[in-house]
């Protein structure tokens, strides 16, 4: 059983990753850290609470993450992509009083201290909360077993700018800090997540088998996302599930990914290349070794991806 803490900016693909985590018997979800990104922190927090409530898992704590990037700049949100509340057409009926009980980083550190060398962090939003956790308490974060990031674009165009992926672009100072300082790090970039697509046909098959409140939101939010993606990338076969693809890397699913190991930096001072993820893939470059080397997913096996997702999202858990 993998003990996972999910750091998310709970929008549409984050929500599918969270749903998968709740339904996968191999995952023990210890907590969710929900910060700004796709929409503001209050909304992502509320969305995480809502999904846990639908799953009957309000025992899982939602920890309040960051509200803005480390630069201090005003964050930019994406209601056009993730919906006004961050869940496509859904306005989660979670009363504001629930925010009063939200937990903070002391809960995060407690979860890690109670499970030394067992916790796997999967970060599928901006890297701000994760960078702050490492900065505030390196001695506790040393006890994290492995960290996975959805972010970056290496041999692939960006999705926020020509060269930058949205999670890294949203806080490149934090992304660079994490890439340079966090050991046992795996990065799942756009190079593979762009291919982690669910087609409308597969979504309909999943929906036909849905029989719980949590499963019933999959189709409406992914239908919304599909319409958005048809505008963004006309003709795309379905919706890329970036965050789900990153979470699946934590499960050691045989044959799902091929990796290379490189030192990674994220441009955070420049202008044109702001947010770009940089690693050396020149011909003749080789895998690196040592604490500063990250494992980067370079190829994905689509058949393994889609059959695993279908199995997990249609099980009766
Ligand atoms: O670039 C894709 C990433 O940006 C995903 O994590 C999506 O949820 C947004 O945060
Ligand atoms: Ca995300």
- Strand ranges, E, within 45-188: 62-64, 119-123, 146-150, 185-188
Q: Is the pLDDT of residue 278 over 80?
A: yes
User: What per-residue confidence (pLDDT) applies to 95?
Assistant: 80
Distance CA 217, CA 47 (A): 12
Ligand 1 atom 1 nearest Cα: 166
Task: Check pocket membership of 239 for ligand 1, CB cut-off 6 A.
Answer: no
Query: What mean pLDDT is predicted for residues 7-15?
Result: 98
Q: Is the pLDDT of residue 100 over 90?
A: no
Residue 71 DSSP class: T
User: What per-residue confidence (pLDDT) applies to 201?
Assistant: 98
The rounded Å distance from CA 14 to ligand 2 centre is 5
User: What per-residue confidence (pLDDT) applies to 237?
Assistant: 97
Distance CA 152, CA 205 (A): 31
Burial class (CB in 10 A: 0-12, 13-18, 19+), 80: exposed
Distance CA 190, CA 45 (A): 25
User: What per-residue confidence (pLDDT) applies to 292?
Assistant: 87
Closest ligand to 13 CA? 1
User: What per-residue confidence (pLDDT) applies to 94?
Assistant: 83
Distance CA 148, CA 250 (A): 7
Distance CA 81, CA 13 (A): 11
Q: What is the pLDDT of residues 121-180, one digit of tens each?
A: 999 999 999 999 999 999 999 999 999 999 999 999 999 999 999 999 999 999 999 999
User: What per-residue confidence (pLDDT) applies to 103?
Assistant: 76
Q: Is the pLDDT of residue 307 over 70?
A: yes
User: What per-residue confidence (pLDDT) applies to 316?
Assistant: 73
Testing ligand 1's pocket by substitution, the residue of 6, 13, 221 carrying the most ligand atoms inside 8 A of its CB is 13
Q: Which residues are catalytic?
A: 9, 242
The rounded Å distance from CA 124 to ligand 2 centre is 5
The rounded Å distance from CA 255 to ligand 2 centre is 24
- Strand ranges, E, within the chain: 2-8, 27-34, 62-64, 119-123, 146-150, 185-188, 197-198, 239-240, 257-263, 265-266, 277-278, 293-300
Task: Check pocket membership of 308 for ligand 1, CB cut-off 6 A.
Answer: no
User: What per-residue confidence (pLDDT) applies to 189?
Assistant: 98
Task: Check pocket membership of 165 for ligand 1, CB cut-off 6 A.
Answer: yes
User: What per-residue confidence (pLDDT) applies to 175?
Assistant: 98
Q: Is the pLDDT of residue 119 over 80?
A: yes
Q: Would you put residue 285 in left (φ > 0), alpha (ψ -120 to 50) or beta?
A: beta
**Which run of H or E residues covers position 312?**
helix 302-313
Distance CA 40, CA 47 (A): 11
Testing ligand 1's pocket by substitution, the residue of 18, 124, 156 carrying the most ligand atoms inside 8 A of its CB is 124
- At residue 214, the 3 state secondary structure works out as helix
Residue % of the chain over a pLDDT of 90: 94
In this structure, are residues 31 and 62 in contact, taking their beta carbons and an 8 Å threshold? yes
Ion ligand 2: residues, CB within 5 A, are 9, 14, 124-125, 243
Q: What is the pLDDT of residues 37-63, one digit of tens each?
A: 999 999 999 999 999 999 999 999 999
Distance CA 125, CA 129 (A): 9
CB crowding 7-28: b at 16 or more within 10 Å, else e = bbbbbbbbbbbbbbbbbbeebe
Phi, psi at residue 44, to the nearest 5°?
A: -65, -35
- Which atom, in ligand 1's list, is nearest to the CA of 14? 8
- At residue 246, the 3 state secondary structure works out as helix
Phi, psi at residue 206, to the nearest 5°?
A: -65, -45
Q: Is the pLDDT of residue 220 over 90?
A: yes
Confidence of residue 270 (pLDDT cuts 50, 70, 90): confident
Testing ligand 1's pocket by substitution, the residue of 18, 125, 228 carrying the most ligand atoms inside 8 A of its CB is 125
The rounded Å distance from CA 178 to ligand 2 centre is 16
The rounded Å distance from CA 284 to ligand 1 centre is 31
User: What per-residue confidence (pLDDT) applies to 101?
Assistant: 63
- At residue 105, the 3 state secondary structure works out as helix
Task: Check pocket membership of 191 for ligand 1, CB cut-off 6 A.
Answer: no
Least confident of 77-81, 91-95, 174-178: 91-95
pLDDT, mean over the chain:
96
User: What per-residue confidence (pLDDT) applies to 160?
Assistant: 97
């Amino acid at each position: 059983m993998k003990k996972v803490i999910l750091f998310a900016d709970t929008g549409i693909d984050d929500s599918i990753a969270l749903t998968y985590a709740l339904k996968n018997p191999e995952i023990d979800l210890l907590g969710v850290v929900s910060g700004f990104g796709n929409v503001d922190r209050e909304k992502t927090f509320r969305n995480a609470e809502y999904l846990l409530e639908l799953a009957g898992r309000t025992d899982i704590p939602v920890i309040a993450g960051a509200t803005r990037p480390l630069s201090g700049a005003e964050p930019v949100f994406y209601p056009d992509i993730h919906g006004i509340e961050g869940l496509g057409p859904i306005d989660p009926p979670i009363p504001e009083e629930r925010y009063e009980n939200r937990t903070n980083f002391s809960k995060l550190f407690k979860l890690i201290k109670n499970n030394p060398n067992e916790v796997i962090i999967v970060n599928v939003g901006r890297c701000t909360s994760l960078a702050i956790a490492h900065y505030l308490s390196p001695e506790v974060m040393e006890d994290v077993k492995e960290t996975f990031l959805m972010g970056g674009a290496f041999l692939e165009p960006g999705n926020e700018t020509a060269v930058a992926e949205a999670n890294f672009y949203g806080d490149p100072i934090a992304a660079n800090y994490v890439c340079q300082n966090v050991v046992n790090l795996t990065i799942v970039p756009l190079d593979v997540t762009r291919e982690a697509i669910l087609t409308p046909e597969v979504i309909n098959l999943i929906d036909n088998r849905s029989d719980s409140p949590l499963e019933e939101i999959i189709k409406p939010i992914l239908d919304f996302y599909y319409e958005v993606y048809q505008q963004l990338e006309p003709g795309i076969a379905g919706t890329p599930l970036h965050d789900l693809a990153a979470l699946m890397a934590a499960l050691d699913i045989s044959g799902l990914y091929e990796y290379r190991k490189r030192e990674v930096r994220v441009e955070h001072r420049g202008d044109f290349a702001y947010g770009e993820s940089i690693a050396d893939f020149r011909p003749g470059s080789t895998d690196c070794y040592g604490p500063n080397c990250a494992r980067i997913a370079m190829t994905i096996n689509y058949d393994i991806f889609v059959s695993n997702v279908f199995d997990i999202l249609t099980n009766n858990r």
